[in-house]
């Protein structure tokens, strides 16, 4: 799995900008595929149906290899592509941006439009919560109760995330570790418990880690 930066899911982020009486608003969202991206663009267009333009761009895929932009009636290359380039500059993927414009009566010219759409998109991305989609290995540990306190202390010291605990005849802990840390962790645990544990590796999962 490939780690990548994206916008936090479950929320639409926005920011506004005004220049020469034209009002621009950026709307930013996490999208997982082209259908979700198209649905997001349509949602914004329906909400702001009275706007002069709803220009958009999105980038998809762990490597950002699926890209699309739309000028929505603005002169070619003055809206959609500047939005797209702003997403790329922020090294984001699985991200869609729609910039809504209400024309204020004063023409901005090609250069002015490019600057306005780029700047508005940048404001929207700055307002968004950015996360790093990070590969973790999901591991389960099974051990006797007499080792639990020692192992829990070891997990706290190593700052390892425990995502679940099952208290039965024995204790089973579900853990998330960075792939590069698994081998060293198991060696340390083996020394700590004299190999009195069982573990199962459930493979890698991608999870969001918020970037401060």
- Domain with 67 in it: what CATH number? 3.30.230.30
18 and 117 both lie in a single domain: yes
Strands 161-167 and 171-177 come out as: antiparallel
**Terminal-to-terminal C-alpha distance of the chain:** 23
Given 91, 107, 128, the domain boundary residue is 128
16 and 114 both lie in a single domain: yes
Given 128, 155, 172, the domain boundary residue is 128
107 and 168 both lie in a single domain: no
d(CA 170, CA 27): 50
135, two tokens:
């590969």
60 and 156 both lie in a single domain: no
The mean pLDDT value of the chain amounts to: 94
Percent of the chain with pLDDT over 70: 99
pLDDT-derived band at 210 (thresholds 50, 70, 90) equals confident
Residues present in the chain in total: 212
93 and 148 both lie in a single domain: no
Given 73, 93, 128, the domain boundary residue is 128
151 and 91 both lie in a single domain: no
Look up the CATH number of the domain holding residue 204.
3.30.70.240
119 and 141 both lie in a single domain: no
* pTM of the predicted structure, to 2 decimals: 0.85
- Residue 212 pLDDT > 70: no
115 and 14 both lie in a single domain: yes
Max avg pLDDT among 98-102, 132-136, 153-157, 176-180: 98-102
Please, are residues 117 and 82 in contact by the beta-carbon 8 Å criterion? yes
Domain of residue 183, residue span: 133-210
124 and 150 both lie in a single domain: no
46 and 108 both lie in a single domain: yes
64 and 123 both lie in a single domain: yes
**Using one digit for the tens of pLDDT, what is the confidence trace for 95-140?**
999 999 999 999 999 999 999 999 999 999 999 999 999 999 999 9
For the chain, what is the domain count?
2
141 and 56 both lie in a single domain: no
d(CA 186, CA 192): 10
């Amino acid at each position: 799995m490939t780690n990548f930066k994206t916008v936090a899911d479950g929320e639409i982020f926005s920011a506004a900008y005004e220049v020469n009486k034209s009002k621009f608003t950026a709307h930013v969202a996490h999208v997982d595929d082209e259908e979700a991206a198209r649905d997001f663009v349509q949602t914004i267009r329906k909400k702001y149906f009275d706007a002069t333009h709803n220009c958009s761009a999105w980038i998809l895929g762990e490597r950002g290899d699926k890209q699309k932009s739309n000028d929505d009636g603005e002169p070619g290359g003055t809206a959609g592509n500047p939005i797209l380039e702003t997403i790329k500059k922020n090294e984001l993927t699985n991200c869609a941006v729609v910039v809504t414009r209400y024309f204020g009566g004063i023409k901005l010219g090609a250069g002015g439009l490019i600057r306005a759409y780029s700047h508005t998109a940048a404001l929207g991305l700055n307002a968004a919560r950015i996360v790093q989609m990070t590969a973790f290995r999901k591991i389960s540990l099974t051990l006797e109760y007499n080792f639990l306190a020692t192992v829990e202390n070891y997990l706290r010291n190593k700052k390892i995330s425990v995502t679940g605990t099952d208290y039965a005849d024995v204790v089973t802990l579900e853990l998330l570790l960075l792939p590069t840390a698994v081998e060293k962790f198991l060696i340390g645990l083996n020394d700590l418990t004299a190999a009195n544990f069982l573990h199962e590796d459930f493979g890698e999962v991608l999870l969001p880690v918020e970037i401060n």
